[in-house]
Structure 1
């Protein structure tokens, strides 16, 4: 019995740890971005405001990601999501854009 438990424990420890699943753009928006982008705090373009998002959209996806990563004006780097991947940030940006065209 002890040997079986030991082997099961060792086997479990040797299994690769599953990476955290990436969060969706909607999840990130609702958890992080909404704080400023729902009300337009400090000039943040509001979700759904096509006129405010148009000049940002014109800059292109890479520029929007770069801005999200470095911050701009009152927006802090990574939009306060210090553990976000580029893929997750892009998904959050895409979520906001899809609701703001």
Structure 2
């Protein structure tokens, strides 16, 4: 019984660590308005040179910047229902 509960708990932890939303859909709904080039200081999707110094800070710092807002980016990056895992997935998707 203990092993079943432990296994179920581990399964729930692994499920919770994945993004709940599709990164491309979140980008289209909340991020594209600024990251498609309309806001010059926002790095565009796929612009490796623009993303490189940001990625060098680490994913935790980037997620914190989205959550709290940074410069012209509003808090939560206009995605009020996103989790930290969603933000991480969108950042990963944008940097590809």
- Considering only aligned residues, what root-mean-square deviation do their CA atoms show, in Å? 1.5
Structure 1 residues 77 and 42, CA gap change in structure 2 (3 angstroms): farther
Q: What aligned pairs does 1:1-101 form with structure 2 within 5 A after superposition?
A: 22-97=20-95, 99=96
The answer for unaligned runs of 5 or more in structure 1 is 1-20
The answer for unaligned runs of 5 or more in structure 2 is 1-18
Displacement over 3 Å in runs of 4+ = none
1:85 Cα offset (Å)? 1.1
1:94 Cα offset (Å)? 1.1
- Maintained 8 Å contact 1:42/1:74: no
1:60 Cα offset (Å)? 0.8
Q: Which has the larger radius of gyration?
A: 1
Aligned length: 78
Provide the C-alpha distance between the structure 2 equivalents of 1:40 and 1:93, rounded to a whole number of angstroms. 18
TM-score under structure 2 normalisation? 0.74
